[in-house]
Amino acid sequence: MRDLKVLQKEVIQNKINHGFNTTDINFEFCLAYGELGEAYMAYLKKKDDLGEELADVAIYLLGISELLGFDLGKEIENKMLKNSKRVYKEINGVMQKVEA
């Protein structure tokens, strides 16, 4: 698989090639939200295209990251490391983050 930073650039180039939005970040978030809804409905209805719908969500996140100047791969790695060091405790049946 290609590096996420490379994929980010490819997502933007595809948008440019097809004349899609590359300036209105609010619109991109709305479209990403819509794609997440489609993925959820595919999950609920046990549709065969769930993987494709999840890919659409990821594509929008890659595009938004590139437009905003973030390296999504690096951000994911940093967040996963941060999450691995967190301490959680079940409180009233719900796992909640607590200070270590």
| Complete domains list, the chain, with CATH | 4-98 (1.10.287.1080)
What pLDDT, on the 0 to 100 scale, is given for residue 99? 79
Q: What is the pTM of this model?
A: 0.90
Non-local (6+) Cβ contacts of 76 within 8 A are 4
For the segment 51-69, the average pLDDT, to the nearest whole number, is 98
What pLDDT, on the 0 to 100 scale, is given for residue 100? 63
User: pLDDT tens across 62-75, in order?
Assistant: 999 999 999 999 99
In angstroms, the Cα distances linking 36 to 26, 45, 47, 53, 71 are 15, 14, 14, 8, 21
